[in-house]
A and B are shown apart, each in its own frame.
Chain A
Amino acid sequence: MQAAVFGALGEPSRLQIVELLRRGPHGVGEIAEALGLRQPQVSKHLKVLDRLGIVDVEARARRRIYHLRAEPFDEIAHWVDSFEHLWEVRLDALGEHLRTHATDTTREDDQ
């Protein structure tokens, strides 16, 4: 899931679309105009984002309005948080190691 989401957002136009949608829901035409892209191109990107659950579409009159879904971002944030916490714990352990090893280091050097 995350890999696909990261992959999708690695494409600059798609990331721009997502950043535009952060400000609120937009139609395909509005997105194309705001980003200076062709409409079929935007539709193609939106299809990818839709398939990954990054955006949702809603029909309003004859327009299709796209908006962001929060879940994929929450998931990534959660994953990265836990990676960060692992490192916090590891660096604490390093501190502990350095404290308990302080007296041993001289001996180790001699080996």
Chain B
Amino acid sequence: MIQLLRRKKELSFERRYPASIEAVWRAWTGAEQLRSWWGPEKTTIPECEVDLRVGGRIRIVTEATEAMGKYQGTRWPMEGTFTLVEAPHRLSYDASSWTEGEQDTSTIRHTNDLELTETADGTLLTLRISITEIGPKAKMAAFGMKWGYKAQLDTLEQHLAAAGDGEVG
């Protein structure tokens, strides 16, 4: 169990997109583009700032919409500092995420390393997230633990079904 736990504090994702490396880079680093995909569902992004330089700030606020029932209006900021900016290949930032009004108890700290590689048919994206600190109430925080878990899985399944791809997580 411990081994699982230790391994899982480091999350690693790999995706291939049939898009140019520049397009993927812009989607990750342009505030307007980030707003359109950062999600998850049933949320809006009322604030999104990206100061793309080492030492610059990234701040994205996710807000629950009416569709999220009693969570409507809840805001989950993520704020971080870029530690590495090498367009269009590498981007790293240290960040904190929390539930507005519960910063003391809900803050999660994480480091994020994004790597983009050009491939013959598009771009390979590798994302490594290391969770370094979790506040006591974090499981109810930004990432929709309580309300979103099921909804996210549903969305994922729908997406995969639509794509004609049966592989679910």
Contacts and interface: CB of A to CB of B under 8 A. Distances in A.
Interface of A: 1-4, 6, 9, 15, 18-19, 22, 68, 70, 73, 75-99, 101-102, 105, 108
Interface of B: 1-2, 4-5, 8-9, 11, 13, 15, 17-19, 23-24, 26-28, 30, 33, 36-41, 125, 127, 129, 131, 133-136, 138-139, 143-145, 148-149, 152-153, 155-156, 159, 169
Contacts of B8: 76-77, 80-81, 84
Given A3-B138, A89-B41, A91-B15, 10 more contacts: A3-B136, A22-B1, A76-B5, A79-B139, A85-B149, A91-B13, A91-B125, A94-B125, A97-B33, A98-B23
A77 B13 CA distance: 17
Contact of A89 (B9, B39, B127, B129): B39
Contacts of B133: 3, 6
A95 B17 contact: yes
Contacts of A76: 5, 8
B149 A70 contact: no
B27 A101 contact: yes
